[in-house]
Chain A
Amino acid sequence: MVSVPMITTKITEVIKENDYITTYQLECAIKAIAGQFVMVWIPGVGERPMGIAEASPLTITVAHLGEFTNAMRKLKKGDPLSFRGPFGNGFSEPRRDENVLMIGGGTGIVPLFFLAKTAKTNGAKVTIIFGAKSKPFLFYQDKLRKISDKLIITTDDGSSGLKGTVMEGTKTVKKVDRVYTCGPEKMMAAVVKWTAEKNIPCEASLERYMKCGIGICGSCMIGKYRVCADGPVFPGEVLLKQPDFGNWKRDASGRKVLL
């Protein structure tokens, strides 16, 4: 058991990535591995799990989609920011000379950027497929290009890169030893299915409604697994056995709802 107090630190940098997405760099550094997450607290609004973009300094990148993330739009340089964590298991580390393929959709690319850095340090060959709705939703492109051996962009409308989903990008990739994916669950379900057919090991990072973050409240279950503590990263073969994967999640009351 690791002690996980609430930490309040300061925002040192606010970077507007595009009209929908903002990056917040914080004053503190944490020990974390790619794929772990923090629970960010906004007093009076609540607490939400957020992927980690960088551990030192702690950096998070957020899409302003709901009440909580829109409340984050107001945050400026110098404002306090509070979090608990890091939580969860994180991705397995890519090995030297391994050909790894990272497939991210939307802000799902954030933890994969962290992982790509680790992969390069370890000497792996990194290909990244980054999918978004359209050009205005893209971000991180320069950083991703720098950290990878090959970057493939896909957009649903073809306004940038290949037209179509991330699966369009997989057609252009040749040698793959391992796949990592993070993004909308239906996208990950397609990726996991593809890796299973190709017999490539795959890890996917899930998102579920979370309350405690420490594996005891039971809000974030998928099958018998606690996404916050047993995950959020799961092997593809485990996910393929979960009827909920790609189909169902639970709301704040525990009711099953469509993804």
Chain B
Amino acid sequence: MIEIELFGRKMKNPTILASGVLGVTLESLERIAEEGAGAVTTKSLTLEPRSGHIGPNIVEVDCGLLNAMGYPNPGIDEGLKEFAEWKRVEPLIISITGKDENEFATLAETIEKSKIKCAAIEAALSCPHTPGYGLMAGQGDPDSVSIIIKEMKKKTNIPIIAKLSPTIPAEIAAAKAAEQAGAAAINMGNTIGPGMKIDIERMKPILGFGRGGLSGPAIKPIALRCVYDIYKAVKIPIIGTGGIVSGEDAIEYIMAGASAVGIGTGVFYRTPSVFKRVSNEIREWLIAHGFKSLKEIRGAAHG
């Protein structure tokens, strides 16, 4: 009843572990799949290893979390070795990020050549708090999105997901640019901001990087509205990500037009069992309202 198909791959439910959460090791991704995720995404890999920003890397705020991890990762070569043994049926999505189209293309080529069993490559174009990457490198601009996806397409046949920010000024144009450049899907949603939290006793920002991306329930209305608008503008599937904690949150995204939903900060609010719980809540809602599949409600909010 809640199964979906994405990039020609079957998923047992529409929940996807969002990039950046518990995606460092193979076994953590296996655990999340065991906990019920329909698909999993690795932490973003870069060409070279990165240790990330100094701590604190995360701090709780009223309706969510602020984080500034700074893309810690062991680099594409070590990362692909780590995930090479993925054998589960749940699709594996490899997230990558680069400083420019050449880096994105090289990363895509490395994945293509590695023969790793991944269902898609997610190009993270939307981090708000890492110099040289994402929004801090202007990658949310429709022209940049287009160039990056096009260069990746030249190097790989693996489906590409463009991960966009809900706070770029031209989100609809960026999504269209991604589609025209050959992206297989849009992931609408990343942390937004950057935001800040100040310790008033210290008179200092708490995060080591000073500022960080806001995630959690606080950002849901914004990312949801973006999914709604993009759904009207593109034909490729949309993954809706941002503030999903419950089945009702997921249903909102699906009614706005999302084919699948990304969950990250929800792991903090409801433990790794959030995937199973959200899936069960979606199923129960469909049953209670007499629906037989997610198709029946996808985009329903558009009337």
Residues of A within 8 A of B (CB): 1, 3-6, 8, 39, 41, 43-48, 80, 82, 84, 211-219, 221, 223-224, 226, 229, 250-255
- Given A39-B55, A82-B202, 4 additional A-B pairs, CB 8 A: A39-B56, A46-B55, A217-B20, A255-B74
Q: Which residues of B contact A254 (CB under 8 A)?
A: 24-25, 43, 72-74, 78-79, 82
Contact B56 A41 (CB under 8 A): yes
Checking B31, B50, B55, B208 against A224 with a beta-carbon cut-off of 8 angstroms, the contacting residue is B31
B152 in the interface (beta carbon within 8 A): no
Q: Which 6 A-B pairs have the closest CB atoms?
A: A47-B55, A8-B201, A224-B31, A252-B51, A218-B24, A218-B22
A84 to B79, CA, bound (A): 30
Contact A80 B24 (CB under 8 A): no
Contact B208 A221 (CB under 8 A): no
Q: Which residues of B contact A218 (CB under 8 A)?
A: 21-25, 28, 43
Contact A5 B30 (CB under 8 A): no
Checking A82, A229, A252 against B199 with a beta-carbon cut-off of 8 angstroms, the contacting residue is A82
Contact A47 B56 (CB under 8 A): yes
A212 to B264, CA, bound (A): 13
A5-B60, A41-B206, A253-B51 given; A217·B22 CB < 8 A: yes
Nearest-neighbor residue (CB-CB) of B50 within chain A? A253
Q: Which residues of A contact B194 (CB under 8 A)?
A: none
Q: Which residues of B contact A216 (CB under 8 A)?
A: 21-22, 58, 65, 264-265, 267-268
Nearest-neighbor residue (CB-CB) of B201 within chain A? A8
Checking A3, A43, A229, A250 against B60 with a beta-carbon cut-off of 8 angstroms, the contacting residue is A3
A46-B55, A211-B72 given; A217·B27 CB < 8 A: no
Residues of B within 8 A of A (CB): 20-25, 27-28, 30-31, 34, 43, 49-52, 54-60, 65, 67, 69, 72-75, 78-79, 82, 197, 199, 201-202, 204, 206, 208, 264-265, 267-272
Checking B30, B58, B78, B272 against A217 with a beta-carbon cut-off of 8 angstroms, the contacting residue is B58
A47 to B24, CA, bound (A): 20
Q: Which residues of A contact B55 (CB under 8 A)?
A: 39, 41, 46-48, 211
Q: Which residues of B contact A5 (CB under 8 A)?
A: 59-60
Contact B57 A217 (CB under 8 A): yes
Nearest-neighbor residue (CB-CB) of A222 within chain B? B27
Checking B27, B31, B57 against A211 with a beta-carbon cut-off of 8 angstroms, the contacting residue is B57
Contact A6 B59 (CB under 8 A): yes
Nearest-neighbor residue (CB-CB) of B48 within chain A? A253
- Shortest distance in angstroms between A138's beta carbon and chain B's nearest beta carbon? 31
Nearest-neighbor residue (CB-CB) of B208 within chain A? A46
A3-B60, A80-B201, A254-B72 given; A224·B268 CB < 8 A: no
Checking A39, A221, A253 against B49 with a beta-carbon cut-off of 8 angstroms, the contacting residue is A253
Contact B74 A253 (CB under 8 A): yes
Query: What are some 13 contacts across the A-B interface (CB < 8 A)?
Result: A6-B56, A8-B201, A47-B55, A80-B201, A211-B57, A211-B58, A213-B58, A214-B268, A216-B22, A217-B67, A224-B31, A252-B72, A253-B73
Contact B54 A46 (CB under 8 A): yes
- Shortest distance in angstroms between A211's beta carbon and chain B's nearest beta carbon? 5
Best-surrounded residue of A43, A44, A46, A223 (most CB of chain B within 10 A): A43
Q: Which residues of A contact B201 (CB under 8 A)?
A: 8, 80, 82
- Shortest distance in angstroms between B95's beta carbon and chain A's nearest beta carbon? 13
A198 to B208, CA, bound (A): 47
- Shortest distance in angstroms between B277's beta carbon and chain A's nearest beta carbon? 13
A218 to B24, CA, bound (A): 6
